[in-house]
Amino acid sequence: MEIKTVGIVGAGQMGSGIAHVFALTGHDVRLSDMSQDALANALALIDRNIERQVSRGKVTAEDKASAMARIRTTTKLAELGPSDLIVEAATERETVKTAIFEDLLPHIQPHTILTSNTSSISITRLASRTDRPEKFMGLHFMNPVPVMQLVELIRGIATDEPTYKALHSVVEKLGKTAASAEDFPAFIVNRILVPMINEAVYTLYEGVGSVKSIDESLKLGANHPMGPLELADFIGLDTCLAIMNVLHDGLADTKYRPCPLLVKYVEAGWLGRKSERGFYDYRGEVPVPTR
């Protein structure tokens, strides 16, 4: 099937980025969130980010105008019903995601494909709570969505071949690269990346290095563009902790035990850039290590 209309649930950083790339590639987008302020902020962010692409000559002003005109916003999930494809991009909590899909089911079309942008939760389990597990997949974009090339495609145990092929074609149309992953905790990228971040937090926790020395060591010693603690702040420490908990619970291996210091930061509400404090304090002109 050809996917022309896309409904996106969640107008945060990921949802707005997903709306951005779909609208720029000719899809009609309906972006939903419970908060009208979140929707307004998302539209403003998309406008700024596409304008940045215009200034760099990557898209034209006409492309931008057309893309912005294709995005409609709503606080009512039911208005996503006519969509060919729905992408859930809500917070990384299974109870929240399950409730969203249950609320959507009475309103969607027989052909509608359901997907989740989850970074770690079982696709098979999420799909089992819907009326169409064969038309359900993981569609995991990387952050920031307009910049990052990769999209993970995760089949649940019941996902059928036409659904997989349709989503593979969508990723190609977006100008991105699809990587197929099996439905195991955290899939490919986060199965490797987040335990590395957790190990960096242990390195800090045990006093092996400071925030600055750990980040500089990985940037200069391993040629990483961003240090692991800086990256954790960018991702969100609550998201990192949620992924580590999924890995620890799902694989029952002590190597995935979340570092107590990561837990403590999340308990303090120091979640990284979005809360202005994490492993760095972002309230001044220059980020300052908090440890």
Binding residues for NAD(+): 10-15, 33, 92, 97, 119, 143, 274
**Residues 29 and 172 placed together within one structural domain of the fold:** yes
Confidence of residue 8 (pLDDT cuts 50, 70, 90): very high
Please tell me the predicted confidence (pLDDT) of residue 1: 77
**Residues 161 and 221 placed together within one structural domain of the fold:** no
Residue for token pair 């580590």: 244
Question: By three-state DSSP, how is residue 125 classified?
Answer: helix
Residue for token pair 């590639």: 25
What's the total number of domains in the chain?
A: 2
Is 23:47 a contact under the CB 8 Å cutoff? no
Region of 272 on the Ramachandran plot (φ > 0 left; ψ -120 to 50 alpha; else beta): left
pLDDT tens by residue, 189-241: 999 999 999 999 999 999 999 999 999 999 999 999 999 999 999 999 999 99
**Residues 177 and 194 placed together within one structural domain of the fold:** no
pLDDT tens by residue, 68-96: 999 999 999 999 999 999 999 998 889 99
Binding residues: 10-15, 33, 92, 97, 119, 143, 274
Domain boundary at 129, 155, 182, which?
Answer: 182
Catalytic, 248? Answer no
**Residues 217 and 154 placed together within one structural domain of the fold:** no
pLDDT tens by residue, 120-173: 899 999 999 999 999 999 999 999 999 999 999 999 999 999 999 999 999 999
Instruction: Quote the CA–CA distance of 243 and 251 in Å, as a whole number.
Output: 12
Catalytic, 267? Answer no
Q: Of these residues, 20, 27, 140, 248, which one is catalytic?
A: 140
Q: Of these residues, 190, 198, 230, 248, which one is catalytic?
A: 190
pLDDT tens by residue, 93-113: 899 999 999 999 999 999 999
Catalytic, 152? Answer yes
Catalytic, 210? Answer no
Q: Of these residues, 20, 116, 152, 230, which one is catalytic?
A: 152
Q: Token digits for 115?
A: 């997907």
Under DSSP, the state recorded for 47 is: H
At residue 6, what are phi and psi to the nearest 5 degrees?
Answer: -130, 125
**Residues 202 and 259 placed together within one structural domain of the fold:** yes
- Sign, CA dihedral 82-124-238-285, equals negative
Please tell me the predicted confidence (pLDDT) of residue 278: 98
Please tell me the predicted confidence (pLDDT) of residue 265: 98
Q: In terms of residue numbers, what domain contains 236? A: 190-289
Q: Token digits for 46?
A: 């998309």
Domain boundary at 155, 182, 209, which?
Answer: 182
E strands along 50-195, which residues? 71-74, 85-88, 113-116, 136-141, 150-155, 177-181
Which domain CATH number covers 249? 1.10.1040.10
Please tell me the predicted confidence (pLDDT) of residue 183: 96
Please tell me the predicted confidence (pLDDT) of residue 92: 86
Confidence of residue 43 (pLDDT cuts 50, 70, 90): very high
Domain boundary at 136, 165, 182, which?
Answer: 182
Task: Share the mean pLDDT of the chain.
Answer: 97
Please tell me the predicted confidence (pLDDT) of residue 35: 95
**Residues 174 and 196 placed together within one structural domain of the fold:** no
Helix H or strand E encompassing 235? helix 228-235
